[in-house]
Structures are given as structure tokens and as C-alpha cells.
Structure 1
Amino acid sequence: MEMAMQKRFILVAGGALLVGVAACVDLNEDVIAGITPGSYGTQPVFEGMVNGAYSGLREFYAQERGFTVTEFGTDIYTKGSDGSHKYINDYTSQLNAGDSYFRENWDFLYRGINNANSAIDQAPRAQMDTTLRAQRVGEAKFLRALYYFDLVQMYGAVPLSLHETTAPSTVATRAPVDSVYDAITRDLLDAEAVLPATQIKDYGRATRGAAQHLLAKVYLTRPRGADSLSNETAKKAAGDFANAAVYAQKVINSGLYSLLPRFADVFDFRNERNKEVVWSIQYTADPLTTGNGNQGHLFFLMEYDAQPGMMRDIANGRPYKRFRPTTYYLNMFDRTKDSRYDAQFTRVWYANNAATIPKDANGVPKYKVGDTAIVVLASNADTLQYIGKPYLVIPPKKYTSKLFPSLNKFMDPNRSSVNETRGSRDFIVMRLAETYLIAAEALLRDGRAAEGLPYINAVRTRAAIPGQEAAMQLTLAQFTLTELLDERARELAGEMMRWFDLTRTWTLLYRGKLGNSDMKPNVQQFHMLRPIPTTQIDRTSIPFPQNPGY
């Protein structure tokens, strides 16, 4: 009986029409609690539907299920000591169609698509200023394009629906990847034409720059060949790299955005709405509107709170120990020139628990609250400088799944309590440093490396330790795809891009095996796509093929 009931519903119909209306996106709009007869066509309902299309973002971005499928199982991040889904990092047979994260991401992304479809389909009935209505449709198309872009990168050919689903259905087919990318591109071109340059009143709504940045990445990513060589040739012939460069340059040259002087300033909690942010997802401190909150502060931290002189507090975070940086990644940094290692990894903790501070033979504490309690070294050679220190010193040779340099980009000191998981800081999805790196990659792969070199060097100049700017410049001979991917790692780690970077460049196997010993024995070519969820296949009344290898 249970299976019979399940067969009545298909996952692509998971976003019922009213879901979009009841959601709140914290964009200074009133929450629409329900629909009364005859209210379709009114501006408040239409605005609520558009707002609802944003809500699905918070189910993927800055959530564990999103981080796990984008940072785990890459050359730069491997498993920490805690948490489940470690097989996604290890690429064992447990990475299969029954995994809950692949199912949940599929469901939530399609729910977001249906919410966007609902707003787009209902727009002609909305009685309101036509210019504003066109902008709202542009927002919905931007969001639909983003949801489909995430889906097609993970799953390949997927069902393509461009109209609202108003009733359950058991019929679905996988549209060709080209068709999905064509739809994404059309939506983004439409959005670019009507979206405003800025959203001063409602910060967080889609803008023209966000559409252009995403278009650049879509052109850069779109696959056109069955292997790396044929894909590169076909993409160049199709003008994908040229188009990616053009749209990245539109954002860079718009005058609306700028690289902040210091890398560390980008993630300053007090400076969320800065000039480098092209577009971010909004979270708030209001538990009624923020959903699960930005949870990035949880997953990248080591177990500092179980060490001598330490206990868990709000400032240092709640350490879930999910994601540990690989040695391969940490060795990408030249710490004599590049500020980003020290800027984004917490390596020193100060004592906050007098009760556990070690004592000498006379019972005297070896240090006081506020003194250094833990130092995580970046080099084994540095150990000599710390011989005889009273606090815990952890060189690389003593890194474990519980003790490691901790990414601090998402730290949230404004949480209400020590164990609060819901963070309120925005999650940056697009920022100008990445736009520069998109332009650099597009021009490099288009055979115009000399034109692309200044873009990667602009990012490296900003990253330089003062006085080392010249030393951070790459020469044309040094500007390779390998160096470009290293640079993306140094700049964008943890920002939910790495698995996409490696699959886009056909380097998941090579770099994964090189950098992540846990995935090395098992990763195969078919892992460049995720498995279609079993629930999707079971609930479809016509054959719905699984991705090869699963």
C-alpha cells in the first residue's frame, strides 16, 4: 500500500503552487500566508510568488547537503572525524542513488524551479507597474536558471519543465543536456535585459550583474564533448569561451563592483554588503524567516573545545569537524607572499577555560585565560620554534581528522547561543574575484592567455602580503589551467564550487587522486555525474534511466 501511494507522486512536481506564495525571503516584502478566491492577479500575491522562488536557495546553499556535494571528495577537502555521508568523499559503493543528500538536493532544486515557474506563468495576470513586473519576471528567470544550472552540473540530463506544475504527475523524461543549457541561457539573457543594475531597496534580489556573472559561468561550463579534448575543441568552436569572457568583462567593467583591498575584508562579518559581492543569499537572525540559517560556520572547524585550556564558546564556534583541508591543498600556499593562508585559516586559539589549563609540578597553571592555548603550525619545520612552549602545538605531522587548520570564512559571532546552529550572515554566491578568474580561465582556454593573464594577476595582487605584490605576479609561461585551478582553490575554498570546478575542467580524477588519498582508490570517470535519486526513478510511470555506473 505504501509503495502504491508513492507511485502517485513524481519529484519534479514536489513544489506545489502555493509553496511559492507562503515563503518568505526577507526582501522587505510582507509574507503572504494564503490565497483567497480571486486574489490571483493582485500585486501582493505575485510579489509573494517571486519571493517564494528565492526560498529554495536556503535549502542548498550554506547547508550541509550543499557543502557535502560540492567540497567533499575533491582535491582540497576530505573527511573530518564526525558526520555521515563520508562515502561521498571516498566514492565507495555507498555513494549511490539511495543517498538522502542526492535526493534532497534534487527535490529542493525542483521545488525552487516550480516556484519560479509559478511566478513566471502568473505574471501576465498581475495588475501592477509593468516595468516592475518585468523585473520580477527577470528575477524568477534568473533563479530558475540557477536552479537548473546546479541540477545539470550534478545530474546531467534532467527533466526540463518551464511551466508551473499544479497537479501530481508520474510522467517525466530526461531532457538532453544541450536543451537544459539552452533554456538556462535564454532565461539569463531575458533576465539581463530587464534586471536593474542594483537593488538598493531590496538588497539580495537578482541584478543585471548577477545574471551576467552566471551567464559567464554557464558558457564556461557547458559541456560539448564526450572527453576533455573533444569538449575543449567543440567549446572553442561554439564560442563558449569567448562568450564567457565577454560576460565576465561586462561585470568587471560595469564600475559597480571592485576587489576589496584585503582578502580578509571580504568575509568580515561587519562588512557583508561590500563592493566585491555581486550577489549573495540573505540570512537573518530572525528564526521565523531564516530557515536553517547559514550553517557554514559549523562544518570546517577542528575540535578545539576538547583541548587543554579550551571550551566551546560563541566566538570560536561550534565545531562539527566535517571537512578537513587536504595536505595537497595547504601546500598550495606560499606563506611568504600570499596572505590568504593566514587570513582564512584559524591556527591560534586563546585559553577560555581556567579549569582545564595544565599545571606545573607545583600546581601552578602554565598560562592564564586569554593566553595562547593552541597553535596549529603550517610547517613541520616551524616546530623547533615552539619547543618548550606550555600550550598545545600541532604541526602538520600531527594533524588528525579532529585537529587541523580551520577555515574561518563563515564564522558567525552573532549567534544567540553556544550551540545555536542557525547562522545569520549572508552566503556569497558570486563575487568579483571569481568573475576575474572566470575571465582568466575563459581567455586561457580560448587560446588568448596573454589577454587572460592580467585577470588572474589582479586577484593575486590583492592576495599579496604587503610588499610582495610583484612577486605574486604570474608570467605568461606560468599561466596554465593547473595554476588557474590552484588559484581558484586558494581564493574560493569552501564557497561551494570545487567539485563543479573539477568536473567542468575534466580534472576530478587526476586532481582528486593527486590531492585526496581517501578518494584515490575508488573514484572513477562516471563519478563526474551524481546518481539520479531512486525515488525519482521509482515514482515515474515510464522508464527513467539512471546515470551510467550507478
Structure 2
Amino acid sequence: MKKILLLIGGLAFMSQACKDILDEQVVSSVTPEYYQTTTGFEDAVKASYEPLRTWYGTQRGFTLTVFGTDTYTKGADGDYKFVNDYTPNLNSQVDYIRDLWNDFYRAINTTNTVIDRAPNITLDETLKGIRVGEAKFLRAHYYFVLVQTYGPIHISLKETTQVQTTASRSSVKDVYDVIVADLESAIAVLPAKQNDYGRVTKPAAEHLLAKVLLTRASIPEAAKPDDNQRAADLAKSVINNYDFSLLPTFAAVFDQGNQQHSEVVWSVQYTQDLITNGGGNSGHLYFLMEYDAGHKGTMRDIANGRPFKRFKPTQYTLDLFDRTKDSRYNGSFKQVFYANNPATLAPGMKLGDTAIWVAPTDISAEYKASKNYRIIDRAEVFSSGNYRYFPSLSKFLDPLRPSVQHEPGSRDFMVARLAETYLIAAEALYKVGNIDEAVQHINAIRRRAAIPGKEAEMEITLDQLNMDFILDERARELLGEMDRWFDLVRTGTLVDRVKKYNPDGGPNIQPYHVLRPIPSDQIDRTEGGVASFPQNTGY
């Protein structure tokens, strides 16, 4: 495949899309003719999954979806604080913004190759149809992330085989029409399950289409009258027509020893194989406070993680949880670090004793003085200038890494899980006025989240449901799971909520920040420059 000036083409085989299932074979020299063979065609389908690993579970993905929202602000370290702070450094030359664009257009060209070459491939027609369905699902997924991020974008639906220097920005409506058509085609041919775990399935496509329609319904120039109702129906199909089920407890969803459970509708696969894991799922790095310096009795270890302290929860986030009945605060945050450093133990402290407690409330000076361990209370967490100490999101912790400094993690990344399907259904049902059924779906999530014996207290009534509550519930359930920036843009609340809840981003955010800038090199590479491929307003 030739590299092109406009949209990066080619097929990537250096990462494995699904651990020990979509088995990769490293190919040292690949010609276009290879993809005309049955083996080459199958490899091209597998390669269509690879770019997912450039997004899910990466610092790039978290930075562009979690940072600069109402739920997370900046921690002490990192080079991308301007994304949270909405300063002029958030511009068209940022590498994350450029690389997302290039990687996903490369991915789209790979899916186009699969779709275009399928008619000439000798393969069982049913299986061939499934593989094309996978490619269309993935093409729709890549376009969905791109259109939410950049707005009007270039549409390419044919394999690129030579240099192109022309491009144009199609309307958001046209992009969504392509996405919906691809997903409808995928749903028609994909099976409920695949023999290879990690390949996309019919319920995964229904979940994604429900989310797409829910999003399109919020865009006046693109919306169709039945989008919300269709979104509700598709989400309910995933809930009712397959063998998915909510796990008994919220914490169990993130058990690293059981990642292929009944709540996973679809996930991106990582592995402990160091050769094929690439950059891995590095989410374990970014949400951790500094526990390994300046404290008695602690040092960095594998179990507690390597703290990059990139993202700090906002006060809004920590206030979301009623800890008397909702298990999701304890299920989401690591609050205690135990003594593991014999060289720096405090007087009276033994290995295994509490060394740091990040308390959820304010603690009196007298109580702090009575303990031989460090207490970081609410007042300190939100004190001026503190970006190092805060409750640490535990969803992505990875104690199975081979060494303390090892960055690539092996956790799968759940792109679609059943709890979100319930929340999609609830939001869509609320928007069509079916409040009673919307509340039922919300309450299903809240009952599962309840501390045992508090299930009834966790249920809400019809008069409590509104969009703010839905957004709050999505934050409680999906904290850190790479949805938040898109959620706030979809609901038209990004600017208001960042101003209200994010102390660092609030002063600078502007209405135009609901889109990211078009990468400058995309504009520069296009014949006619900015006249042919204009920049987004404000950048």
C-alpha cells in the first residue's frame, strides 16, 4: 500500500487486535497482490482492528475524552495540561489531535480495502459477508469518533491506491448517514457471537448504532424524527435478546482475573505477551496520586502502580456518590495505601499497616495527630495548588505487569458494556417522553450499584429524572471510561459544566471548544489549503 499525502493508507500487522484469538503473523514484505488472496483478505480484516489500540486505553484517548470535562482536571504531571485548561496551546499542531486523525483515516482505508476486494475473494459467502460486516462496523466506529471530535470531515469509501491531494469537508449529516448505513449493513450479517472472542458481533453493532442515533438526534441539521426511539429499541434489543447480564456487583466488572464476563458487549483486546501487546492498555498510569514519595512507609511497587498523576477528579466527581448506599465510590477509588517500605516506616508502623488514607471527608487535626499514618482529607485534596494527592481511580490498575516501571498493561478495554447500554436506553426513552421505562433502566443500574441491603434506597422516582441526573449517573457508572467529553458535547452541556465544575478549564473554555481543531498538516497537504479544507471556528 502506498502512503498518500491526504489520508494515511496501508495495513498494519504489527499489533494483535485480539489476544490469542485474532492471531497475527508478522509479514516482512507485503504487496497489494497479497490482499487479493484469501489469507491476505483475512489478514486485512484483522488489521482493521489494530488502530483501536492507538485510542482505547492510551494517554491520547484519555486526554481527549476524560481531561477537560466536569469529572477530571489536571494532576501534577504531564505535557498536555492545555487540553484541560483550554489555552491557546490547544491548537491544530497538537500531536494527539494530528495522530488520531491520521491513525483513524489509515484504519478507514484498511476497512475500505476489505470491502472493495471482498467480491473477488474465494471464501464461503456467509463468512465473507461476516468479514465485510466487521469492516463496516469498524469503519463506522472510526468515523463516529472522528465526526464527534472534528465535526465536518472528509468521507472516503473506496480503497486509496495512489497519491491524493484533494479533499473536502462533508457535512455532519452526510457523515452520520454513512455511519448509520454501515452499521445497519453490519447488523444484517453479523452473528450474535463469533468463534474468535474480540471480533465484533451483532449486539455490539446494535449498541454502537444506538449510541450513534442518540448522538445524531442531538444535532438539528442531521437528526431524523425517529432517532431517539430507534436508539431505545436497539439498546433494549441488546439488553433483552442476548445472554448479557449485569454482574452482581459493580467492583466485579473490573476484576482483571475475569475480563470476559457477561457484561462485556465488546472490548478491545490486550495481552500479557510482550511481543504482541504493543503499547498495551496504559490506563493504570494516569489516574494515580503520588503515593511513592514524601510519605512514611511507602515506595513504588507493582501492586500499587506507577503514578503518572495526570488526571485528578474534580470536587463534583467526589460529591456524586452517596457513600451510605452507593458502592461505586469504594468500587471506583483506591483510598488506602499500605506500608511496603521497611526503610521509612513511621514509629509504631509495621509492613502491611495503613500508610496513607485518602479520606472522603474533612478530618479533624486532633484525629490526624493521633495516627501514625498520613491522612489526606477532603480539605487537602481541594486545597489550592494540590495536584499530587487525590482519590485514585482503580478501574485500570494492573498488578499483572512484569515490573514496577513497565508501562504497557494487559487489561482489555471495555468499549461497550451492558451498564452503558441501559444508560443509553434510559436517555433515549427519556427524550421520547417514556419516563417510566427510562426510570426502570436507571434503577436497574442503581440496584446493582447498591451496598447490600440498600437496593430500595438507591431507586429513584419519576420526578427525579432529568438530563442532569442522567449525566450524573453516567459519571458515577462510567467514570474514566473515555465517554465523558463526548457525553457533554452530545447533551450541549460541555461549556456550562466545565465552567461550573472544572476550576482549571472553566475560566478559558469557549463555545467553539465543542470541536477539536483540524490538524494543520491535513490542511497544508490539501490542494487549495484552507480554502479547500477550512479550519474549525476559533482555531
TM range (shorter): over 0.9
What corresponds to 2:140 in structure 1?
145
1:20–1:48: 8 Å Cα contact kept in structure 2?
A: no
C-alpha distance in structure 1 between counterparts of 2:390 and 2:303, whole Å:
18
What corresponds to 1:166 in structure 2?
161
1:44 and 2:44 matched: no
Within the candidate set 115, 125, 132, 1:130 is matched to 125
5+ unaligned residues in a row in structure 2: which ranges?
none
1:443–1:452: 8 Å Cα contact kept in structure 2?
A: yes
1:24 and 2:16 matched: yes
2:13–2:24: 8 Å Cα contact kept in structure 1?
A: no
1:436 and 2:417 matched: no
1:270 and 2:257 matched: yes
What corresponds to 1:524 in structure 2?
510
1:471 and 2:453 matched: no
What corresponds to 2:341 in structure 1?
353
The amino acid that maps onto 1:546 is Q
The amino acid that maps onto 1:509 is V
What corresponds to 1:368 in structure 2?
350
- Secondary structure at the aligned position of 1:506 is classed as coil
2:218–2:491: 8 Å Cα contact kept in structure 1?
A: no
Within the candidate set 72, 88, 96, 1:93 is matched to 88
- Secondary structure at the aligned position of 1:280 is classed as strand
The amino acid that maps onto 1:212 is E
1:32–1:45: 8 Å Cα contact kept in structure 2?
A: no
1:213 and 2:213 matched: no
Within the candidate set 172, 176, 179, 2:174 is matched to 179
Cα shift readout 1:65-95 (whole Å, capped 9, x = no counterpart): 1100000000000000000110110111111
Cα shift readout 1:335-388 (whole Å, capped 9, x = no counterpart): 001000011100001000011112xxxxxx320111110000001157765540
Cα shift readout 1:401-443 (whole Å, capped 9, x = no counterpart): 1100000101111111100000011000000000000000001
The 5 Å alignment of 1:218-233 reads 218-222=212-216, 225=219
Comparing 126-135 with 371-380, greater Cα deviation is found at 126-135
Q: CA deviation at 1:510?
A: 1.2
Cα shift readout 1:269-307 (whole Å, capped 9, x = no counterpart): 011000000000000112221110000000000011112
The amino acid that maps onto 1:442 is A
TM-score with structure 1 setting the length = 0.93
Cα shift readout 1:146-192 (whole Å, capped 9, x = no counterpart): 00000000000000001111122111111111111000001101111
C-alpha distance in structure 2 between counterparts of 1:440 and 1:291, whole Å:
37
1:97–1:531: 8 Å Cα contact kept in structure 2?
A: yes
2:13–2:50: 8 Å Cα contact kept in structure 1?
A: no
What corresponds to 1:548 in structure 2?
537
Distance change >3 Å, CA 37–CA 435, structure 1 → 2: closer
1:335 and 2:323 matched: yes
1:23–1:48: 8 Å Cα contact kept in structure 2?
A: no
Q: CA deviation at 1:39?
A: 3.9
C-alpha distance in structure 1 between counterparts of 2:366 and 2:472, whole Å:
30
Cα shift readout 1:310-336 (whole Å, capped 9, x = no counterpart): 111100001000000001111011000
C-alpha distance in structure 2 between counterparts of 1:421 and 1:69, whole Å:
20
C-alpha distance in structure 2 between counterparts of 1:51 and 1:45, whole Å:
10
1:347–1:405: 8 Å Cα contact kept in structure 2?
A: yes
Distance change >3 Å, CA 418–CA 37, structure 1 → 2: closer
The amino acid that maps onto 1:346 is K
The 5 Å alignment of 1:286-297 reads 286-297=273-284
C-alpha distance in structure 2 between counterparts of 1:97 and 1:48, whole Å:
34
C-alpha distance in structure 1 between counterparts of 2:324 and 2:366, whole Å:
18
1:9–1:169: 8 Å Cα contact kept in structure 2?
A: yes
Moved over 6 A (4+): none
1:32–1:44: 8 Å Cα contact kept in structure 2?
A: no
1:239 and 2:205 matched: no
What corresponds to 2:305 in structure 1?
317
Distance change >3 Å, CA 166–CA 32, structure 1 → 2: farther
What corresponds to 1:361 in structure 2?
none
Q: CA deviation at 1:224?
A: 5.7
Q: CA deviation at 1:468?
A: 0.7
- Secondary structure at the aligned position of 2:73 is classed as strand
Q: CA deviation at 1:308?
A: 1.6
Distance change >3 Å, CA 143–CA 382, structure 1 → 2: farther
Distance change >3 Å, CA 520–CA 22, structure 1 → 2: closer
Q: CA deviation at 1:223?
A: 5.4
The amino acid that maps onto 2:61 is G
C-alpha distance in structure 1 between counterparts of 2:69 and 2:254, whole Å:
23
C-alpha distance in structure 2 between counterparts of 1:367 and 1:331, whole Å:
32
Comparing 20-29 with 410-419, greater Cα deviation is found at 20-29
What corresponds to 1:395 in structure 2?
377
Q: CA deviation at 1:449?
A: 1.3
The amino acid that maps onto 2:249 is R
Distance change >3 Å, CA 244–CA 67, structure 1 → 2: same
Cα shift readout 1:501-542 (whole Å, capped 9, x = no counterpart): 000000001111111011111111110011001110111112
C-alpha distance in structure 2 between counterparts of 1:53 and 1:28, whole Å:
11
Distance change >3 Å, CA 310–CA 381, structure 1 → 2: closer
1:309–1:356: 8 Å Cα contact kept in structure 2?
A: yes
1:149–1:184: 8 Å Cα contact kept in structure 2?
A: yes
C-alpha distance in structure 1 between counterparts of 2:217 and 2:91, whole Å:
23
C-alpha distance in structure 1 between counterparts of 2:249 and 2:366, whole Å:
31
What corresponds to 1:302 in structure 2?
289
Distance change >3 Å, CA 382–CA 67, structure 1 → 2: farther
What corresponds to 2:439 in structure 1?
453
1:20–1:50: 8 Å Cα contact kept in structure 2?
A: no
Q: CA deviation at 1:24?
A: 3.5
